[in-house]
Chain A
């Protein structure tokens, strides 16, 4: 059943998600696009774009939107999509919620010991790799245009990608602004 599969998948994503929203994006992408092939890379990219422009934690937004699209793509009715969206959003927070309750209950004051520090240090390193892989996987002909067919789109895409990359990294412009500007560029050039 789609509900059970979604619930299980998003529970798993929640409990292994260390290191913030982008790590969540990487995990959801792997499960939803690669592992289960519920969404195409292009659909997922659109979901990430929308999730960054709407309020709330990006991880929750991506989970909600993916849950909906997965069910609707599988041919279910609109209300099943909405139910799946809510299910995915709650599944993703369920296990961390339980874990946080247990820790808050039994350890009144959080103190990092050497083992915790060492685990977190290593997790930070692999999460960088995880996010890098997610970015690489999303460089597809669907997202950038095809070399032989749409040469023009490919060039525009490469320029947008590099410009946004530098603007975000060096000039720290907000993702929302960059997405809006890229949308305008798209509307003008295509």
Chain B
């Protein structure tokens, strides 16, 4: 039985529209809709797709939608799912962005944003410490994030280069580990 494109679109539309606060907030909603309610995916498949989407570059939720859409209905399924997932978010931002140009002059809006700006900086700083656990930072490897941050902040090195170097070094390290295991 083929799943209609419209149903795919609608499922991801709901997931995209009703989650505030980023991609990871979508995981429970996606699982409920796609695994429990629709039964389109087995729980184990869902977990596999989750780890693949985290490993690949890009927006996590969009990676999920791409993979699931492709699995269920091929290329068109992937396009439909992604569109469903991002349609309303883009529309809402456009409405706000076009409106905010006019409210910006409003004294109350400016006062609110004066309070909000330092909060945003704190909200970006907080995950640094949250992620330290999942990244398994220890005394031995703590220099890696510190040096990356300093290169960007002090010397204006592009984060793009830091990521490229990390991929190359990670790959070489992985190859060396493999060889070690073979020798042993």
- Give chain B's interface residue range (CB within 8 Å of chain A): 35 or more
Chain B residues with CB under 8 Å of A68's CB are: 93-94, 97-98
Selected contact of A186 from candidates B61, B113, B163, B173, CB within 8 Å: B113
A20-B23, A68-B97, A100-B58 known; A161 vs B115 contact (CB < 8 Å): no
Chain A residues with CB under 8 Å of B149's CB are: 128-130, 132-133, 136
Whole-angstrom distance between the alpha carbons of A54 and B17 in the complex?
9
Task: State whether the Cβ of A176 lies closer than 8 Å to any Cβ in chain B.
Answer: yes
Give the interface centre of A25, A114, A131, A139 by most chain B CB atoms within 10 Å. Answer: A131
Q: Are B137 and A59 in contact (CB under 8 A)?
A: no
Task: State whether the Cβ of A22 lies closer than 8 Å to any Cβ in chain B.
Answer: yes
Task: State whether the Cβ of B78 lies closer than 8 Å to any Cβ in chain A.
Answer: yes
In the complex, how many angstroms separate the beta carbon of A4 from the nearest chain B beta carbon? 18
A103-B56, A124-B135, A129-B162 known; A30 vs B152 contact (CB < 8 Å): yes
Tell me what chain A mostly uses at the interface: helix, strand, loop, or mixed.
helix
In the complex, how many angstroms separate the beta carbon of A63 from the nearest chain B beta carbon? 8
Task: State whether the Cβ of A149 lies closer than 8 Å to any Cβ in chain B.
Answer: no
In the complex, how many angstroms separate the beta carbon of A96 from the nearest chain B beta carbon? 3
Task: State whether the Cβ of A112 lies closer than 8 Å to any Cβ in chain B.
Answer: yes
Task: State whether the Cβ of B39 lies closer than 8 Å to any Cβ in chain A.
Answer: no
Selected contact of A57 from candidates B22, B78, B169, CB within 8 Å: B22
Q: Are B166 and A126 in contact (CB under 8 A)?
A: yes
Task: State whether the Cβ of A1 lies closer than 8 Å to any Cβ in chain B.
Answer: no
Tally chain A residues at the interface, Cβ within 8 Å.
116
Chain B residues with CB under 8 Å of A14's CB are: 57-59
Selected contact of B92 from candidates A54, A105, A153, A189, CB within 8 Å: A54
Q: Are A58 and B126 in contact (CB under 8 A)?
A: no
Task: State whether the Cβ of A2 lies closer than 8 Å to any Cβ in chain B.
Answer: no
Give the interface centre of A130, A139, A174 by most chain B CB atoms within 10 Å. Answer: A130
A125-B144, A131-B124 known; A97 vs B170 contact (CB < 8 Å): no
Selected contact of B145 from candidates A128, A168, A185, CB within 8 Å: A128
Q: Are B127 and A174 in contact (CB under 8 A)?
A: no
- State which residues 89-121 of A face B: CB under 8 Å: 89, 92-93, 95-97, 99-101, 103-105, 109-110, 112-121
- Which residue from chain B places its CB closest to the CB of A26 in the assembled complex? B159
